[in-house]
Chain A
Amino acid sequence: MATLKQVARWVPSHWGAGHLVLAGFLALLVLAVSPVIKLDLVVNGLFLGAIIGLGAIGLSLVYGILKFAHIGHGDFMTLGAYFALFLLSDLFPRIGLTGAGLGPFTFGYPLLLALPLAMLAMAVVAIALDLGIYRRLRRRGVNPVVLAMASLGVAIALRGVVQIFWGGGTEQYPRVSKLFYRLPMDVRIPPDNLFVGGLTVVLVVALYLFLTRSKMGKAMRATSDNPDLARVSGINTEHILWWTWAIGGALAATAGVLLAVSQAQLVPIMGWRLLIPLFAAVILGGIGNPFGALVGGLIIGVTSEISTQWLNPSYKPAMAFLVMIIMLLFRPRGLFGAKD
């Protein structure tokens, strides 16, 4: 019987991440033009993947810099989405800000205002949770698994907070139904997905510039690579952690709002349900690699959409899990992860 290590050798060891991505894209291209796969699923899978990717970028940064699996990340998304709901359906109408159906989209211009506020709120919540809970455990020098355990408690408590204020039912942002765009080859795109795609590109470019050009971004990457070396080089690692949480929280809020817009509904369990795809994307991209996480998210999104052609759509989270398990078997460090 072939052992796991022998099986893993089937992937040529000299293959770098570039080869794998290229092979993946080629496979996707072949599949997309073949009559086997509906192009519609591939295209809309990319938009779902962008949302997963936005959540996964923050998760991967936290994982890489704080070195623990932040189970509460899905519920960060939920809380961000519900905070925007509070603004859109409670606070804004009171000061006369209402509207839906802006241009081709289902939502109105208040959402463009609510989104940055939700990002800011989640950045603050994330930092506050770190100061109140994670930092205290860190100072005690606990094992990373204990931190992950604490974040499970945070996840449950956050969902409890959402349910205390909004109940357990489904909610909606103010919206006007719009017709889908019809493209050749039976591709139908909901107009909101253009917003999803556009915003993802803008945020990812901004994050790229931040991480590569700014001093703080460079310091973050240094801390992720080697925390001790970063500290002796004079980097204030506490500040790095704050920035990490702020970026992670803000991106999680964005992903939550976009998910609520594209699915046209909010439920308290929406973020928890996305936790498996999020972690799958992080592991696919290599822990601590934000752009790998985005690529991982896109792969997970497309794979789970394509699977609905043969499987019951409710198996989508299981597909993400399957992709993750295959990755753990053959290349546990991820597509772009550094060699140990």
Chain B
Amino acid sequence: MDIIGNLDYNIAFVVVAAIYAVFALGLNVHWGYAGLFNIGIAGFFALGAYTSALLTKASADPRLFEDFKFGGNLAASFEGIPVVGSLDLWFVVALLGAAAVCAVVALGIGFLTLRLRGDYLAIATLGIAESIRLVFLNEKWLANGSKGLYNIPRFLGDVVAPRNYDYLFLVVVLVVLAILYLAVERITKSPWGRVLRAIREDETTAAASGKNVFKFKLQAFILGAAIMGIGGALFAYNVRFLSPLTFDPLLATFIIWAMLMVGGSGNNKGAILGAFIVWGVWTRTQFLPRFLGEPEFRLFLIGFIIVAVMLLRPGGILGEGRKVSRPAWQQKTASPET
């Protein structure tokens, strides 16, 4: 057995699963904590990926791409400024840029729909995802249309040999995931997160307690969308090729929902665990015999998993668990007899 080949396969697996875990964390902020039903993850996914690519990719060769005018030449025009030692800060800029663009779009959509009934958001996110896909498909000057963008530069690509690059990128992705996990964990344990859960459980009571429900929902929607944008940027740096066809609803929206539902919505560890489990099932089932390995059957499986989890184990594997605010916890541990 080819151990090295197997190891490479597993590394690539973990990289993709960790990127999906970033999306699952973002979706957990939306659905798990704030109860916001976003079925347009693919929109933020594409927006984050294209933003990061356009920020860092060198401009296109005009002889090859007659239609493609906008090269996103920013990296080239500021060459020399953002490289500290061997650390290419443009990667960081790309990640933050992707997050910022997604946050702005989320602000617009949220502002329009979050005052209305909860399911209007679902329809609006579906619409915005489709619109974003159509823009990237049709506006050839912006993103080269269906031919897509390729040769997205590698972050720290000159530090290691190309064949070992996955190891380096694995570390990068895991560091980003860890930072996001700790940040989301910290934020959702704060009083702000507590208000979100209160709104999710009972909007009227939260409003009656003097909380501005709309403002909190909008903040949560923007935060989750920004995290999804970072996920999109990581995805772009991993595959280094983007086309509008990459962002089909199955692999860019539905599978992420299945991940969160399986792992346990309302639990950040669950979101990450679910990403690894579902991506594992997804990649391994392609080796199943006969029709079980067909993509059609696996599409059915994703839908089936979502419904089955909702019916049989609404909390997912880990479930939300009890959340106690830190002051209350300290009080409890300090005086156990009360």
Chain A positions near chain B (C-beta within 8 angstroms): 68-69, 71, 133, 136-137, 143-146, 148-150, 152-161, 163-164, 167-168, 272, 275-276, 279-280, 283, 312, 314-315, 317-318, 320-321, 324-325, 328-329, 332
Contacts and interface: CB of A to CB of B under 8 A. Distances in A.
B118 A144 contact: yes
Closest 6 pairs (CB-CB, A-B): A160-B300, A157-B303, A156-B303, A153-B306, A321-B127, A163-B296
Contacts of B306: 149-150, 152-153, 156
A272 to B, nearest CB: 7
A252 to B, nearest CB: 17
A315 B249 contact: no
Contacts of B254: 152, 156
Contacts of A314: 134, 137-138
B204 to A, nearest CB: 13
Contacts, number: 128
A150 B302 contact: no
Nearest to B304: A157
A71 B131 contact: no
A276 B296 CA distance: 24
Contact of B39 (A71, A283, A325): A71
Interface in B302-332: 302-307, 310-311
Contacts of B35: 143, 145
B112 A148 contact: no
Contacts of B112: 325, 328-329
A321 B131 contact: yes
Given A144-B119, A160-B296, A149 B291 contact: no
A278 to B, nearest CB: 9
Interface of B: 31, 35, 37, 39, 112-113, 116, 118-120, 122-124, 126-128, 130-131, 134, 137-138, 249-250, 254, 257, 291, 294-307, 310-311
Given A164-B291, A276-B130, A314-B138, A152 B39 contact: yes
Contacts of A71: 39, 122
A150 B296 contact: no
Contact of A328 (B113, B128, B137): B113
A133 B307 contact: yes
Contact of A160 (B131, B249, B297, B311): B297
A167 B295 CA distance: 10
Given A149-B310, A332-B116, A155 B303 contact: yes
A340 B123 CA distance: 21
Given A149-B310, A154-B307, A317-B134, A160 B119 contact: no
A160 B295 CA distance: 9
Contacts of A328: 112-113, 116, 120, 124
B335 to A, nearest CB: 37
> Which of A157, A314, A317 has the most CB atoms of chain B within a 10 A radius of its CB?
A157
7 contacts: A143-B35, A152-B39, A157-B307, A158-B303, A168-B296, A279-B126, A321-B130
Given A137-B310, A321-B131, A153 B304 contact: yes
A325 B124 contact: yes
A164 B294 contact: yes
Given A69-B123, A150-B310, 14 more contacts: A144-B119, A145-B122, A148-B37, A149-B310, A152-B39, A152-B254, A153-B257, A160-B302, A272-B249, A276-B126, A276-B130, A279-B126, A283-B123, A315-B138
A153 B302 CA distance: 8
B299 A160 contact: yes
A119 B128 CA distance: 32
B82 to A, nearest CB: 36
A146 B116 CA distance: 17
Given A68-B119, A164-B300, A283-B123, A150 B128 contact: no
Contacts of A150: 306-307, 310-311
Nearest to B118: A145
A46 B218 CA distance: 38
Contacts of B122: 69, 71, 145, 148
A145 B124 contact: no
> Which of B119, B128, B137 has the most CB atoms of chain A within a 10 A radius of its CB?
B119
A161 B300 contact: yes
A318 B131 contact: yes
Contacts of A145: 35, 37, 118-119, 122
Contacts of A152: 39, 254, 257, 306
Contacts of A155: 303
A146 B112 CA distance: 22
Contacts of B299: 156, 159-160, 163
A161 B298 CA distance: 10
A146 B310 contact: yes
A133 B306 CA distance: 12
Contacts of A276: 123, 126-127, 130
A160 B301 contact: yes
B311 A167 contact: no
A102 B129 CA distance: 41
A73 to B, nearest CB: 12
Contacts of B291: 164
> Which of B116, B120, B291 has the most CB atoms of chain A within a 10 A radius of its CB?
B120
A315 B304 CA distance: 32
Contacts of A159: 299, 303
A145 B122 CA distance: 9
Nearest to B201: A143
> Which of B31, B296, B297 has the most CB atoms of chain A within a 10 A radius of its CB?
B296
Given A145-B37, A157-B307, A164-B294, A324 B302 contact: no
Contacts of A164: 291, 294, 296-297, 300
B224 to A, nearest CB: 15
A131 to B, nearest CB: 12
A327 to B, nearest CB: 11
